[in-house]
Amino acid sequence: MSNIQVIIWLFPLLFIFHDLEEIIFIQPWISKNRLYLCERFPILSKKLLPHFDNITTSSFAFGVAEEFILISIIF
């Protein structure tokens, strides 16, 4: 198997590990860094942070699963 084939087969696995970390830590990270984000990006945070308040861990995981299925079909 060539190096490019190994990289192609490892991509979905690495995608899952990366997004698993995001699924676990997105809500605590947003809660911890909310003030910093508001100070650093005042205009952008006013638009995006309310959106993140409505995202639950399960809904975020569903979005990740949807992306994983699409990537798996493409590869």
The pLDDT tens digits for 5-42 are 888 888 888 888 888 888 889 888 989 999 999 999 99
Question: Is 4 inside any structural domain?
Answer: no
pLDDT of residue 42: 93
Question: Is 50 inside any structural domain?
Answer: yes
Question: Is 54 inside any structural domain?
Answer: yes
Number of domains in the chain: 1
Question: Is 30 inside any structural domain?
Answer: yes
Nearest of 50, 71, 59, 49 to residue 23 by alpha carbon: 59
The answer to whether residues 52 and 41 touch, using CB atoms and an 8 Å cutoff, is no
Question: Is 7 inside any structural domain?
Answer: no
Burial class (CB in 10 A: 0-12, 13-18, 19+), 64: middle
Question: Is 2 inside any structural domain?
Answer: no
pLDDT at 48 over 80: yes
Question: Residue 16 is part of which domain span?
Answer: 12-74
